[in-house]
Amino acid sequence: MNTQQRDFLKIISAALINQPPDFLGYQLPENWKRLHKISSEQKLSPMIYDQLYRLPAFQRAPDSLQQKWMGEAVAAAGRQVIQTESFARVCDELTRRGIRYVVLKGISCRVWYAHPELRPSGDEDILIDPENLKVCHEVLRELHFTNEESINVPDIEEEQEITYLAQDGSLYLEVHLNAIGKENAMQKQLNEQFTNLLDKTEQITFEGHDFFVLEPTEQMIQLMSHFYKHLYGSGVGIRQMIDLLLGIQKLSEWIDWDKFEQFLKEHHMQKLFAAILNAGTDYLHLELENIPGTFIRKKVRPEALLDDMFAGGIYGFGENNDRKLSGFTAVEIDSGENKWKRILFPSRIRLGDRYPKLREKPYLYPYFVVKRWFELFLEYGSGKEKRELLKKRMSIAEKRKQVLNYYR
């Protein structure tokens, strides 16, 4: 980690524990810009700015950067208020119509933060019973949402989610039909443990509204699965790690630790979880003393994981999308699937994300596979520079494999 990345963690730590940050600021404008870039990449600019604007040292940052940072923070906090109100209307109407749902991530995590508005979220996610999709779709259309994908496609229950956008732009909503996705063997295996989730919920109140969330043990298993899924894709961000750590901290006395430990063991996540805990105590200075000792492994260092999270940003793709091929390579570790098979013969679900027509006409799979081959050739095989790009991206993917292997 470089200086700005370490300072970023110091400032986040202060925000989480309600203490002034151990941060002296910078003399050079370039360093302030690097810190701002990190906070933007990790979608935590509001939380960082809320700590910085009080510091005399922040006055040494360029005026234009101070104004930009403030604008981002205020806009993000305002969007969260509007988004929460829009989401509450959706959830209230689903409940009124007798459609069971459960919130995944988003609000179910923000409730753990001292200042929830500083934990931005670009969308909200709910899980419903696939049998209720058509009724849910009707409700959302009545509430003036437009859907980005058709629900009238074969094998709709194999899809992970259908996305909707409020016509007034107040909410981007993902309606999940399963908890993790079914794109590859790893996701299918993770999904197998999530049975009857809608029977395992509890109600919380947030900003004056009631929402259904998963009960603590299932919620932590789902969040850890989501973290793991994205880590083995292109990567995962700091915010997802903070969500996990705060959940563990706030819910520790209600978590079935034996069940959670068995889950980690079955999916080879014990070392990864230990690294996350060590990042929480060593870098974010969170009090996690209620975690059973069997989960603590101080020798499992989190630095390689943190470096990977900073390199990838919140969505894991990194600058210039250079981690684009990492997911194909990384999944070999977990599922044993050959990376070239996944690259050349992606699942229908994955290919359908690229070619929406395939969702409606699955029998066109061979045609779109060949079409994708042609596009891959144009992207990587039609010139020296493009072949160098492929070599670079494959090299990044192989280096990520070393990191992932360390945490298994």
Tens digit of each residue's pLDDT (9 = 90 or more) over 93-132: 999 999 999 999 999 999 999 888 888 888 899 999 999 9
DSSP state of 383: S
pLDDT, average across residues 194-209:
93
Residues 282-321: tens digit of each pLDDT:
999 999 888 998 999 999 999 999 999 998 888 877 776 7
Q: What was the pLDDT predicted at 331?
A: 67
Please give the helix or strand (H or E) that residue 217 lies within, else none.
helix 216-231
Mean pLDDT of the chain: 89
What's the CA gap between 340 and 269, in Å, rounded?
Answer: 25
Q: What are phi and psi of 321, to 5 degrees?
A: 60, 30
Q: What is the pLDDT of residue 276?
A: 97
d(CA 173, CA 176): 10
Mean pLDDT of 268-272: 94
> pTM of the prediction?
0.91
* Separation between Cα atoms, residue 217 and residue 46, nearest integer Å: 30
| C-alpha torsion angle, residues 238, 241, 245, 247 (rounded to 10) | 110
